[in-house]
Structure 1
């Protein structure tokens, strides 16, 4: 089932939102408000989560509050990777959450937290255990990033490979499983925390890992999963067939589905991080996906099921 819809991913990070085109986040606020309204119109009770911020910045939350965005959200989310990218120590997690709680009255979710095995698998295992100690009981949702390492032949979703240096390559070592599906040292440890710490696993278009990922999550006892449906991917041929297959495969988990990524031909600039030309087009995509995949009928269409004229099929 889908338990939450998340509006964008890391909007205050230049790798996910082109801040040069929206330096005061006016356009992002417009997009988030439109999406929040559209999701609520499509589903009266679905939890709306403001996209996980990275870095954790109280000033950004004050801006969202001032622009009225938080009036159309039911929770806010943060991302943190203190062992890999953030300029703060892992033991600061409680104070980082407190900084955001001081600015907002909404629940604060941690929808991405992780540690890479870039230097050593033991570092990742220690990071997982320490993260669990610091966050369980302090956040209503925690999602460990991620189940799989990013395949070495792919690219990380960033436009700053040259500027990042060795930090870029940490993207490829965040999984509990290696690229070939073999377990790392932290996997067995994670099983202990799976009921309390969910996973964040992005699936690329027609991702070959989907079925195996569902099997691993089932064996580990995962309840909560965060993944995404890409607005940009929705313009690919057979996009709905892939979306149907993905969401049907994940139906047994409580899914937070993230809506993000601008189609190149619908942005101010021709890039997935660009603000869209029309925020309402993104909002329409969010509403269509909620109508299609949120619990209304309990029936899950097969990928081949034709869509009736007018309203999309409700799936999960």
Structure 2
């Protein structure tokens, strides 16, 4: 069920990786090398994905190559939200893909997060989903729409400056195809027509009460590919393994790209989930443990004699 493992989420975005603690991404690259090796050792058939970059940045990608990180992954991933946060138009998607392909010609490029919010108008989301499908389906091997559910307002968005970002912050709560009260937005019907070709990116919070209903909805829609995450920080909560087991069992119907991210506060250079860890091997060990538990390598059976 786990077809791919992503090493962190948006490592070139200061909301997810603190650039003051690792300004040249040396610590991140070292973590990728270690995690890539741990994932491969646990199951060499699992595709290793470099943490989806946001913004899409060829120079940062080249930096990953200089530091050896690209040698430890099989896929390079990008995230884009041109109608909400990015300073480029939606029709530039093919050009953005080509920019990364030009500097990493030997690896496929996946779009592991793309979305359009309904903050301004739900009709904008309908247009954005349709146009995104036209531009990306058939252009890249994997696409994950962010997301199925609106983020509940009570949970808060993972970002550095919160309300100080103005409407940019509040857009985080309108990216789903289903409203917080469970009612569908108009774009959900359009998504249903392409669900077998465009996967979903859906985070599940620790002991998320939406898990079972979300799985049922995705199965009804015909979703094949799902991207989600396992939090290294959550692994230190009481009952973490039981929650991880329940979540991963529920997601068995899908081909999962599993993202490993979030530094435990007590293991970071600073007490924050976006901090580089004091010991990058600790993160690599978590990745290896998760793959061994949820995507163990299938041993080759001995050939019968006679």
1:31-70 correspondence to structure 2 within 5 Å:
31-70=31-70
- Equivalents in 2 of 1:43, 1:277: separation in Å? 26
Q: Which residue of 2 aligns with 1:78?
A: 78
- Equivalents in 2 of 1:233, 1:102: separation in Å? 37
**Cα deviation, residue 163, structure 1:** 3.4
- 1:143 matched to 2:144? The reply is yes
- Equivalents in 2 of 1:35, 1:296: separation in Å? 17
- Equivalents in 1 of 2:222, 2:51: separation in Å? 26
- 1:5 matched to 2:5? The reply is yes
Secondary structure, counterpart of 2:260 in structure 1: strand
**Cα deviation, residue 133, structure 1:** 0.4
TM-score, structure 1 as length reference: 0.93
Question: Contact 2:31–2:284 (CA<8 Å) still a contact in 1?
Answer: yes
1:22-171 correspondence to structure 2 within 5 Å:
22-104=22-104, 105-171=106-172
- Equivalents in 2 of 1:158, 1:232: separation in Å? 17
TM-score, structure 2 as length reference: 0.96
Q: Which residue of 1 aligns with 2:302?
A: none
Q: Which residue of 1 aligns with 2:185?
A: 184
Question: Contact 1:231–1:285 (CA<8 Å) still a contact in 2?
Answer: yes
Q: Which residue of 2 aligns with 1:305?
A: none
1:12-69 deviation digits (Å, cap 9, x = unpaired):
0000000011111001001111100110011121100001000000001000011111
1:194-229 deviation digits (Å, cap 9, x = unpaired):
011000000000000000000000000000000000
Q: Which residue of 2 aligns with 1:219?
A: 220
Aligned residues: CA RMSD: 1.0
Aligned residue pairs, count: 298
Question: Contact 1:224–1:255 (CA<8 Å) still a contact in 2?
Answer: yes
- Equivalents in 1 of 2:290, 2:85: separation in Å? 32
- Equivalents in 1 of 2:203, 2:44: separation in Å? 26
- Equivalents in 2 of 1:143, 1:78: separation in Å? 10
Secondary structure, counterpart of 2:35 in structure 1: helix
- Structure 1 window deviating more from structure 2 (49-58 vs 155-164): it is 155-164
Secondary structure, counterpart of 1:139 in structure 2: coil
Secondary structure, counterpart of 2:77 in structure 1: strand
Question: Contact 1:2–1:295 (CA<8 Å) still a contact in 2?
Answer: no
Question: Contact 2:84–2:171 (CA<8 Å) still a contact in 1?
Answer: yes
Secondary structure, counterpart of 2:103 in structure 1: coil
Q: Which residue of 1 aligns with 2:271?
A: 270
**Cα deviation, residue 11, structure 1:** 0.1
Q: Any runs of at least 4 consecutive aligned residues in structure 1 with deviations exceeding 4 A, and if so which?
A: 295-298
Runs of at least 5 residues in structure 1 that lack an aligned partner in the other structure: 299-316
- Equivalents in 2 of 1:158, 1:234: separation in Å? 21
**Cα deviation, residue 162, structure 1:** 3.7
- Equivalents in 2 of 1:126, 1:165: separation in Å? 24
Secondary structure, counterpart of 2:48 in structure 1: strand
